[in-house]
């Protein structure tokens, strides 16, 4: 596979920094060193306090930050929130809403790339029934990806299971970030239901992957991250 988007290979791995406190995040980032250059910071970190101080700390060290805050509110409020974020040196931010919300985020994005969430990888067909969606997961993902592109979003967050169909159906300019990556067989205690391997995700069209537990919970997180980087290097040779 060739790298036709000029994405740095080592940036294709995004580590989900799902820890409780900024101090833990800094310690883990120091431990990971050069094995990770891109970090996803989500709601747990936001609620702990010190979120933007951590963002500043990471960007000062040459790291990229994905603010996974899934903005969902009236469009004017989402636009204002994204506008505030655009001065923080963040690379990606997520929205999780309808057309008006996505359009407002896209208009206000500045230098931030806006990613629309399609269907969370923790949801399956039964969960969609509970939420009132009377359609298959794949159809919903494609519908939301098309609408995100029309709204001016830069990309989507989508499971690897829907990647082949998504790439056939939606303009290839849309970036795809794929969470739910499991280098090894999914564990029963894992809350991710729709998962794929590193190789499958990139083969089927992902631009970036998000990996959390397989790195964070490894005996040697740096070695685990470097192993994934080695796999990526084999998929996208220089």
Catalytic residues: 70
Do 208 and 175 contact (CB within 8 A), yes or no? yes
Nearest to 79 by CA among 130, 55, 54, 114: 114
Rounding to the nearest 10 degrees, give the CA dihedral for residues 19, 24, 30, 31: -70
Do 144 and 130 contact (CB within 8 A), yes or no? no
Beta strands in the chain (DSSP E): 13-16, 38-41, 64-71, 92-95, 113-117, 155-157, 175-178, 208-211
């Amino acid at each position: 596979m060739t790298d036709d988007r000029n994405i740095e290979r080592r940036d294709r791995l995004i580590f989900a920094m799902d820890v409780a406190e900024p101090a833990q995040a800094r310690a883990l980032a120091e431990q990971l060193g050069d094995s990770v250059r891109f970090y996803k910071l989500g709601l747990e970190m936001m609620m702990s306090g010190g979120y933007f101080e951590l963002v500043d700390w990471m960007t000062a060290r040459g790291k990229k930050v994905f603010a996974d805050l899934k903005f969902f509110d009236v469009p004017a409020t989402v636009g204002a929130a994204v506008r505030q974020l655009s001065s923080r040196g963040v690379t990606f931010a997520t929205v999780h809403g309808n057309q008006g919300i996505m359009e407002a985020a896209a208009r206000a994005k500045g230098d931030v790339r806006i990613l629309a969430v399609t269907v969370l990888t923790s949801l399956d067909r039964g969960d969609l029934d509970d939420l009132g969606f009377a359609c298959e997961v794949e159809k919903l993902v494609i519908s939301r990806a098309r609408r995100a592109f029309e709204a001016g979003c830069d990309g989507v967050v989508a499971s690897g299971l829907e990647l082949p169909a998504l790439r056939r159906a939606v303009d290839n300019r849309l970036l795809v970030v794929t969470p739910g990556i499991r280098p090894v067989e999914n564990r029963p205690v894992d809350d991710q239901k729709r998962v794929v391997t590193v190789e499958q995700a990139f083969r089927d069209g992902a631009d970036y992957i998000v990996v959390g537990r397989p790195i964070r919970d490894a005996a040697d997180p740096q070695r685990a991250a470097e192993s994934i980087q080695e796999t990526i290097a084999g998929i996208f040779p220089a």
